[in-house]
Structure 1
Amino acid sequence: MLKRLPFLCAALLALAACSHDSNSGGAPQATAAAATGSSATTPAAGTSTTTPASAPAASGSAAPATAGTAAAAPATTAAAAPAPAATPFVDNGTWVEGKHYFRIDPAQPTSHPGKIEVTEVFSYGCPACNSFHSTVDRIAKGLPSGAVMNYLAASFRPDENWPLYQRAFYAAQALGVVDKTHDAMYDAVWKSGELSTYNLKSSGLKPHAAWPTIEDVAKFYAKYGVDPKEFVAVANSFTVNTQMKRADDLMKAYGVDSTPTMIVNGKYRFTASSAGGYPQAIELTQWLVAKEAAGK
């Protein structure tokens, strides 16, 4: 039984929903986001449920970004097979605004003119994002040629070291290595544990002194040909600091209060929970992309 304990802990973390509300020192808020057709979620014992956001983030958040704010994270798509054909838009009542997805008002500008932009709001430190990121990979591969995948790194859980992971993402993006390190970063946090803030062998957060630092992150990226000193310099640069601020502002403008959250073309927001599960999240993304392509 003791040997199975780490795996049970990891499984619970994978089901967690990462909320804007902070639970200092405790395990991430857990919401069993079904990967099946069921839209119901069952909170784990002793935790609270993160409901799909239907309004801007809770009071106390910074003011929404202005209409002139550009998306902070350009697409990080890797070379792949030719894009699939666009799905014709058909509204048969399957997807309901206000239930499965939510309109962003006002709509926010995107960073890819002429393209339909699909954005995942995520954190490498979020267990639910770790569970969902293979689904996001499928979403990215299934986008038609008129759409592009985009990523927005969140920082709203400083009690779980998320600002570090946000900084790492934008530094890697600036250095042009995100395409080959994005999935590997999740593994470094949730599999090998080399960049984990959580104690994967037991439960709960590591002591603050044992949290990974930007220097630790630089050692990880050195495996991908990045000079550690250059990585630290870029990570602490004005450019990356500006991108982090823009990401925070844009996330608030989207009304995001939990991760992972999907955004379609700056107009629509949904979660796997609101969609009804992981497969449904893929279907809803495709439907909203088709809706935008049809100008509906």
Structure 2
Amino acid sequence: MILSPKKILMSLAALVLSLSFMSNIAAQSPKIEEGFDYRVLPIPQAVETKNKVEVIEFFWYGCPHCYDFEPELSAWAKRQPKDVVFRRIPVAFREDFMPHSQLFYTLEALGKGDALNEKVMYAMHKENKRLLTENDIAEWAVSQGIDRNTFLATYRSFAVTSKARVAGQLAEAYRIDGVPTIVMQGRYVTSPSIAGTKAKAILVMDYLEQKIRKDKYK
């Protein structure tokens, strides 16, 4: 079939528009590069669940950047499919921050973690509660409807104090030097500071999630 000059021009115009549209889409999707947006651990750590995408946030209740990243990270976690396992590990860079790690595992043991973790951060960053002593922490827990004796017994338990210590060891194994830090599949590390922004960090997490699936969860 021979096209008229008019139809040829119309086809060329449509092609130019299509290429322009594709170019705009590419421009809107920022390039994600190893070494710039994420890094790879020299010694990968074992994942807890096979055939899943494991995502760990290393954080500290008292970290303002963790508090600032929380809404975006929680929204990301909530929209993930069933093959994504998301968990948090508290980091105490100083011994006097250990009570915060114990608080995290106490709430987890009492089945209150999902409900109260954000409230802990709100209390610290918006209500100026430091929550560094056992008494202050217990009083805050009581204000959230938790029985004081139950809370203290759990907070002081061997299981909770052991988990808090192990969390510190894990932070060292993963070479965590700042929070918040996201580690995916025991090998890929990113964060808002590494990626540049909170929004870019989320895009990097989406990219790594797809990469891990493509690599058959390796």
TM bucket normalised to smaller = 0.7 to 0.9
- Between the two proteins, the alignment pairs up a number of residues equal to 188
Provide runs of 4+ in structure 1 moved above 3 Å.
Answer: none
Match of 1:140 in 2: 77
Match of 1:257 in 2: 177
Q: Contact 2:54 / 2:184 at 8 angstroms: preserved in 1?
A: yes
Q: Please state how far the C-alpha of 1:111 moved relative to its aligned partner.
A: 2.7
Distance in 1 between residues matched to 2:30 and 2:122, nearest whole Å: 39
Q: Contact 2:58 / 2:88 at 8 angstroms: preserved in 1?
A: yes
Q: Say which SS state the counterpart of residue 145 (structure 2) adopts.
A: coil
Q: Does 1:191 align with 2:126?
A: yes
Match of 2:33 in 1: 96
Q: Contact 2:97 / 2:132 at 8 angstroms: preserved in 1?
A: no
Q: Which amino acid aligns with 1:144?
A: P
Match of 1:130 in 2: 67
Q: Which structure is higher in helix share? A: 2
Distance in 2 between residues matched to 1:229 and 1:131, nearest whole Å: 33
Match of 1:233 in 2: 153
Q: Contact 2:191 / 2:198 at 8 angstroms: preserved in 1?
A: no
Q: Contact 1:143 / 1:286 at 8 angstroms: preserved in 2?
A: no
Q: Does 1:152 align with 2:89?
A: yes
Q: Contact 1:139 / 1:285 at 8 angstroms: preserved in 2?
A: no
Q: Please state how far the C-alpha of 1:145 moved relative to its aligned partner.
A: 2.1
Q: Which amino acid aligns with 2:42?
A: D
- When residues 185 and 179 of structure 1 are mapped into structure 2, their CA distance, relative to the original with a 3 A threshold, is same
Q: Which amino acid aligns with 2:108?
A: Q
2:112 is matched with which residue: 177, 180, 185?
A: 177
Equivalences for residues 18-97 of structure 1 within 5 A: 94-97=31-34
Match of 1:207 in 2: none
TM-score by length of 2: 0.80
Distance in 2 between residues matched to 1:186 and 1:93, nearest whole Å: 31
Q: Does 1:162 align with 2:116?
A: no
Match of 1:108 in 2: 45
Q: Unaligned 5+ residue runs, structure 1?
A: 1-91, 197-210
Distance in 1 between residues matched to 2:48 and 2:135, nearest whole Å: 30
Q: Contact 1:117 / 1:265 at 8 angstroms: preserved in 2?
A: yes
Distance in 2 between residues matched to 1:112 and 1:172, nearest whole Å: 23
| Identical aligned residues as a percent | 30
Distance in 1 between residues matched to 2:114 and 2:49, nearest whole Å: 18
Q: Does 1:288 align with 2:181?
A: no
Structure showing greater radius of gyration is 2
Q: Please state how far the C-alpha of 1:231 moved relative to its aligned partner.
A: 1.2
Distance in 2 between residues matched to 1:212 and 1:93, nearest whole Å: 41
Q: Please state how far the C-alpha of 1:146 moved relative to its aligned partner.
A: 1.1
